[in-house]
């Protein structure tokens, strides 16, 4: 009798584990799909911005969003957008003015490693040195 109950309990535990594994697989699949869509949007946003907004509006939007993107989000996608936008606009005096105006916001980012990473991304994206842009 006790042996049967133990066997039933083991069987129920296996079923629960199977259900948990199925749920984890479903979540992983959903996460992959979301990441794919996020990356696709990040690739087209720079062109859409350039088509509909002025340089001042683009710089305000992109730099502001880059500063606000938390570590838990996808800051590397915003870095990609920033890089593409600065490649399309080329760094003129107007773009340089925006970068200088936003430096204080970049310097106040927390944690410090994120501040350094963000500034590095900004300066590499704004650089005209081809070696840095590879």
pLDDT per residue rounded down to tens, the chain (134 residues): 677 788 888 888 888 887 777 666 665 655 566 667 777 887 888 889 989 999 899 999 999 888 888 766 778 888 888 988 988 888 788 888 998 999 999 999 888 888 999 999 999 988 887 777 66
pLDDT given for residue 104 in this prediction? 92
Q: Which residues of 45-66 are buried (b: 16+ CB within 10 A; e: fewer)?
A: bbeebeeeeebeebbeebbeeb
pTM over 0.75: no
């Amino acid at each position: 009798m006790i042996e049967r109950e133990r066997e039933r309990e083991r069987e129920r535990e296996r079923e629960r584990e199977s259900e948990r594994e199925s749920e984890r697989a479903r979540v992983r699949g959903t996460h992959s799909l979301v990441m794919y869509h996020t990356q696709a949007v990040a690739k087209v946003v720079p062109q859409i911005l350039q088509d509909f907004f002025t340089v001042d509006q683009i710089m305000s939007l992109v730099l502001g969003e880059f500063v606000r993107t938390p570590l838990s989000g996808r800051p590397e996608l915003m870095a990609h957008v920033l890089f593409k936008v600065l490649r399309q606009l080329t760094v003129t005096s107007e773009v340089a003015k925006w970068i200088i105006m936003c430096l204080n916001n970049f310097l106040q980012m927390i944690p410090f490693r994120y501040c350094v990473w963000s500034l590095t991304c900004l300066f590499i994206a704004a650089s005209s040195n081809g070696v840095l842009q590879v």
